[in-house]
A and B are shown apart, each in its own frame.
Chain A
Amino acid sequence: MSVIEVKNISKYYGKVCALDNISVKFESNKIYGLLGRNGAGKTTLLNLITNRLFPTEGEITIDGDTVIENDKAIEKVFYMTEKNLYDEGHTVKEIFKWTNEFYQSFDLDYAFSLCDKFDLKPSKKIKSLSTGYNSISKLITTLASNAEILIFDEPILGLDAYHRDLFYKELLANFIKKPKTIILSTHIIEEISDILEKVVVINDRKIAIDDSVEKILGNAYCVSGSSENIDQFIKGRNPVNIEQMAAFKSATITGQLNDNDREAAKKLNLQFSKVELQKLFIYLTKGGRQQ
């Protein structure tokens, strides 16, 4: 059990609204993607879940217990923040040592073996680490915490392709070995879309999407062909994006693809292709304002 329930949460900074009456449930033992554009309110939501900020209205619970000043609830979570919260004079090893004090299930051996894999020297001081290695040191601490709920805010900041690949693999191996609730908050979606089971999209201070990746992708399709045929096809359908190159057009359409659609498309000589989560996300959040 490790269920996070966000109920009617609003957060105002002074008069500025960051989250507007949102409700969402993070079920246990699933990998979630928390997606949203910069300034959409992702980090605010995560800070509220972990008692680092206080909501203006609403309630958040973990397994039924309120998170506000409640160690019983928040100690189930390890939250990797984009911001560095550790004293920069500490070494990576010291961070492990102290996290081990505060997280019962922290696994020191695992942490050191991950350091080996990522090529991070545990004797290094935090301030001497590059952006990428700073992220890596935080990733390792989070994975090794073995908390019931792991939250990653922009986990791959500054990581090169090799380290990103390694992180995804280690994350999955960790998850399979001991299932837990994982939330990956990021705006880089392409690489993680197959890792995720469910997706929560925040757009314009509200929850725009809260569904499984499969359903989201199953509820949209991309069709392409000649300009006039596409125009004919999209009549009465719900296109979210249309791209045109000379006489060629492709349209992304939301809605379930049925046999009638396939038939109609075939007659018009149109081709279907996969919609990527990343692209769908871009289309659906286009209207979202940036703060």
Chain B
Amino acid sequence: MKWLKFAKYQIAEILPSVRNFYLIFLAIIIFITIISRSNSNFSGIDFASVVFIFIAGLNSFRSSFNFALANNISRKVFLKGMIVAIFPITITMSLIDLIINRVSNIFVPNPNNFDMIYGAYRDIDKRNIIRSLDWMPQNDVTTLLGTILWQFALYSTVFLLGVLITLIYYRISKPFKILVSVSPVILIVLNISIKGMLPESFGKGLSNFAVAAFGFETQNPFIAVLSFGVIGLVFSTFIYLLTRRAVIKE
């Protein structure tokens, strides 16, 4: 079971930065909790985890790939190990994030992203009531389980996205690299002009689709988990195709 060993390596590689991230994250949470006790509240601070995981994804391909080659591990074993290693990390982070959030809520009400999208918090927003006074975290099983699953799915997908982006950069030649780098700008410009050309219904349909796929309207996180699963699978397929013939680089 070489891939399992490689997954073990991959986890051991990421763990120190996860630990450092939470040390900093906790320090910040405590700091904010202390200063915001009296007046306002804060929300969605768990977004920091998403950013961290994205960066971790961006950083993990190259050195792991080199290490795999140094030990004459085939690309397919490397890939299997690397992707499998993501899940224990993201599920653990999802749990830790939920625990941190619920504990800090004892002192200052602070909804996480899940609460804001799928919880009662959004309705409070609609009713225009002062949030901090009115909102209490829901701790029923469905909410907690939903949070853990949804965060897990989101984190895993974001990690895969990070890996995919690095891989694209790793594989393409220099001219393409520049093209990919400026493509967001091109896309924005094109988007504006395309928007004008396409019928309004197209854009609307697209956003409706997204709203449905992520269960924003129905407030169903499990639809979102499913969608993340599909996206993650698509990312993994591209990662596989890009790794299949990847070679060592100077």
Interface residues of A (CB under 8 A from B): 47, 50-54, 69-71, 74-75, 77-79, 81, 83, 85-87, 98-99, 101-103
Contact = CB atoms under 8 A, between A and B. Distances in A.
B73 interface: yes
A16 B245 CA distance: 19
A117 to B, nearest CB: 23
A77 B245 CA distance: 20
B67 A78 contact: no
Contacts of B8: 101
A51 B74 contact: yes
Contacts of B5: 101-102
Given A47-B248, A101-B9, A102-B5, A79 B72 contact: yes
Given A54-B245, A101-B8, 7 more contacts: A53-B247, A69-B74, A74-B72, A85-B70, A99-B71, A102-B5, A102-B71
B200 interface: no
B76 A69 contact: yes
B70 A69 contact: no
A99 B71 CA distance: 7
A149 to B, nearest CB: 10
Contacts, number: 59
Given A69-B76, A71-B77, A101-B8, A81 B247 contact: no
Given A53-B248, A54-B247, A86 B74 contact: no
Nearest to B65: A85
28 contacts: A47-B247, A50-B69, A51-B72, A52-B69, A52-B247, A52-B248, A53-B247, A54-B247, A69-B75, A69-B76, A70-B74, A71-B2, A71-B72, A74-B72, A75-B72, A77-B72, A79-B72, A83-B248, A85-B67, A85-B248, A87-B13, A87-B66, A98-B9, A98-B67, A101-B8, A102-B2, A102-B5, A102-B73
B43 interface: no
Contacts of B71: 98-99, 102-103
Interface in B212-250: 245, 247-248, 250
A230 B8 CA distance: 68
- A interface: dominant SS: loop
B63 interface: yes
A166 B66 CA distance: 29
Contacts of B72: 50-51, 71, 74-75, 77-79, 102
A85 B69 contact: yes
A220 to B, nearest CB: 37
Interface string B45-77: 000000000000000000100110111111111
A163 B5 CA distance: 34
Nearest to A78: B72
Contacts of B74: 51, 69-71, 74
Contacts of A70: 74
Contacts of A79: 72
